[in-house]
Structure 1
Amino acid sequence: MKRYFALFLLLVTVILQAVNFISPVAGTALITSSFGEFRGSGNRGPHFHMGIDLSTNMRSGVPILAAADGWLVRVEIDDDDIYGNVVVLEHEDTTRTLYAHLSKFSPKIDSLINSVISEFGKKRIVVNFPAKTFFFKAGEAVGYSGQTGEAAQPHCHFEIRNADETFCYDPANFIEIPRPREASFTVKSLVIDSERYTYVEGKTYPFKDPYPKIMLNVATALNKNVIGLKELKMYFNEILVYDINFGEIPIEEFNNVWSVYSNDSISDGYSYNAWYKLYPDRGTSLVKTNKFPELGRLPARVNVKIVCTDMWNDEFVIRFVVERR
């Protein structure tokens, strides 16, 4: 069974890589939020960020481009929902892309959308289109940047989903996003068994039985902004015991943020602090390795290594020691 499941995952990977996606924002767009980040407010409650945000320099009206050739699947008209105004395309490999917070739609469909609004008003409207009715070429505008929904500033929110929209995938794995020169990994703070510490490489920290409950406030700093990580792997005495990976998130886990983030995390549109929980708390598919049930009683002194991977797949290693007190 495991062999067949591995073959299935390989097939899915090959299919997803069959389409060459381009950035939905022309030029060298700065990323302002990464996939899987914590979101703590909104109409739908605390949730994962299911796409990436690309800067439009806080300007509305910037063309948002089709990331690949595709057919229009649906349009969502809603100023109050998290996503605001939305366009969804389906591509040749059956993957779908979603473009959110739009101020207005492509001229190709704008008159149709306006007629729908004039009939039904500004309440939430979802317009599903028959297959292969409206075609968009890669690089053609599907709409224009805005801040409809819960966007604090105008920008492009971009998602890549599977055919039946049950999974979202990290768009950074499919489009080229240059690493800004100023990007730097930062460790803001460390918590062990509810005690907060300043992280010092190689330092020894106390822990209690049965194992240390470790949380990290870490991020990639970009000028005044910070973005989340792609993966965190924790090792005890060089043995991998815990692995959180944000490569894909099932839609059904949209609100399951407390499985990997602590309730000290903050995201209000203007400040962002994400506390990653590196111990089992509740079930999630984002945890790829969990050996805590097999650990038994840890030695009195344990060397901890945490490998943090950013969205550009650069790795940064955190090292310290925990000692039972």
Structure 2
Amino acid sequence: MKKLFIILIILFSFVLSFSQRFLPPVKDSYLTSSFGEYRDTGDKPHFHLGIDFSSFSRIGYPVNAAADGYVYKIWLNHKVYGNTIFLYHPDYDLITVYAHLNSFKGILSEIANSVISEVGNTFAEVKFPEDEIRVSKGEEIAYSGKSGEAEVPHVHFEVRELRKSGNEEIEIVRDALEFVDYIEMRPRKLEALEIRSNNRTFKLLEDQITEIPFATLPKLEVKADEKIGNNTKIIPRKISLRVNDELVYEIEFDAIRADEMYSANTVFGYGSNIFTYWLKLYSSSFITPIKVNRWNEIAFTLKDRNPAELILEDIWGSVKVYKLVLVKEM
């Protein structure tokens, strides 16, 4: 009886955890882009701070609220986000963001049209009092589009958290896949394709050890991605480098400060674009995705030959390990 009671508690917790997750903004849709990807569109390179859901190449496809809450603000004519809704969810103390919209629904449509009649195509932000415009989980709030820098119709979705640091309010953008009730059913292939060192490029294979030459300090960059189905490519969630059995460098795309949006070149190397990701395994700067950077500690302890491992992980638990040897050039 006691064992049955424990099982029932576990099952209840499992069901509850999924019922508390956010709904995807587009019903029966699929993921087309992931959090943290490199974007070279717009004025300058930046991080992709959300996840994208297909609107099946349609403008005007219904967009739904992820959870109960109220409208926090809207953006009109933002150069990157286009027409955007921000919802605040008191039960989670989080904000969800819906971008590249073609139009809004109901009272928001009336307000947006009124503002646009005054400002035209210039950017405008409209903030709303707490609880003034309430929404329910799954409620239709807007329609998909390709406003802002979007090239094709889709829905860009974010989860944001406001944190206090002294008198300053910091906006942290989280990987929305952690919060959304979404199961990826398509086949996935996580892999590192190539690695660069001292302007030389080497192919990577799981079943062989790759020797990588370096001079004073290894400045490595790895080309990596995860292919999903036939037409989606996303970035690995975590990239780690171990040298001589020590964790030396690690990047994880779980959160990025909103004010770090235009710091993408700290993490991404030359040749990166919307389809290709060259990830730096070194940096002289610190931003949120860089979790570990110990090169300064170990630079003078490197030997002539240094066994290393490059480890890729995705958000669904897949792991790929590539064996390396970092060889000091004499």
TM-score with structure 2 setting the length: 0.86
SS in 2 for 1:188: strand
CA deviations 1:211-247 (Å, max 9, x no partner) are 3221111001122331111111111122111111111
- Name structure 2 gaps, 5 residues minimum: 1-17, 163-168
Q: Corresponding residue for 1:274?
A: 277
Distance 1:265 1:258 in 2: 9
User: What is the CA–CA distance in structure 2 between the aligned matches of 1:73 and 1:206, rounded to whole Å?
Assistant: 51
How far apart, in 2, do the equivalents of 1:173 and 1:47 lie? 22
CA RMSD of superposed structures (Å): 2.0
SS at match of 2:110: helix
Cα offsets for 1:174-227 (capped at 9, x unmatched): 113222332211323211222111113433424223332211110011223311
The one-letter amino acid paired with 2:66 is: A
Deviates more, 1:274-283 or 1:203-212: 203-212
Residues 263 and 186 (structure 1 numbering): CA distance in 2 closer, same or farther, change over 3 Å?
same
Which residue of the partner structure matches residue 219 of structure 1?
225
Q: Equivalent residue for 1:90?
A: 88
The answer to whether 1:30 aligns with 2:35 is no
Aligned 1:68-107 pairs, distance under 5 A: 68-78=67-77, 81-92=79-90, 93-107=92-106
The separation in 2 between residues aligned to 1:37 and 1:227, in whole angstroms, is 7
Letter in 1 for 2:155: C
The runs of at least 4 consecutive aligned structure 1 residues that moved more than 6 Å come to none
Q: Give, in angstroms, the shift of residue 276 of structure 1.
A: 0.5
Q: Distance in 1 between matches of 2:286 and 2:73?
A: 32
| Preserved CA contact (<8 Å) 1:204 1:323 | no
Q: 1:17-166 residue pairs with structure 2 within 5 A?
A: 20-27=21-28, 29-43=29-43, 45-78=44-77, 81-92=79-90, 93-163=92-162, 166=171
Is 1:322 the counterpart of 2:326? The answer is yes
Q: What amino acid sits opposite 1:26 in the alignment?
A: K
Q: Is the 8 A contact 1:210 1:297 kept in 2?
A: no
Give how far 1:319 is off: 1.6
- For the pair 1:302 / 2:306, whether they are aligned, the reply is yes
Residue identity opposite 2:30 in structure 1: L
Counterparts of 1:278 and 1:206 in 2: how far apart (Å)?
13
Deviation at 1:19, TM superposition (A): 5.4
Q: Residue 186 in 1 paired to residue 187 in 2?
A: no
State the shift of 1:39 in Å.
Answer: 0.8
Give 1:230's aligned residue.
237
Contact conserved, 1:161 with 1:168, CA < 8 A, in 2? yes
Worse-matched range after superposition: 208-217 or 56-65: 208-217
CA 119–318 in structure 1, closer or farther in 2 if over 3 Å, else same? same
Structure 1: gaps of 5 or more residues: 1-16
* Structure with the bigger percentage of strand: 2
Could you say which residue in structure 2 is the equivalent of 1:258? Answer: 265
Distance in 2 between the 1:77 and 1:90 partners? 18
| 1:296-322 CA distance string (max 9 Å, x none) | 231111222111112323211122222
* Distance across 1 between alignment mates of 2:210 and 2:82: 48
For the 8 Å contact 2:212–2:324, the answer to whether it is kept is no
CA offset digits 1:47-104 (Å, max 9, x no partner): 11111001111111111111111110111110x6110100001111331111000011
Give, as a single letter, the amino acid of the residue that structure 2 aligns with 1:172. L
Aligned positions, number? 303
Supply the distance in 1 between the matched residues of 2:105 and 2:184 (Cα, whole angstroms): 30
Distance 2:314 2:212 in 1: 28
Distance 2:309 2:210 in 1: 13
Aligned partner letter, 1:85:
N
Which residue identity lines up with residue 288 of structure 1 in the other structure?
Answer: K
Secondary structure of 2:221's aligned partner:
strand
The TM-score, its normalising length taken from structure 1, stands at 0.88
For 1:83, give the aligned amino acid: Y
The residue number in structure 2 matching 1:3 is none
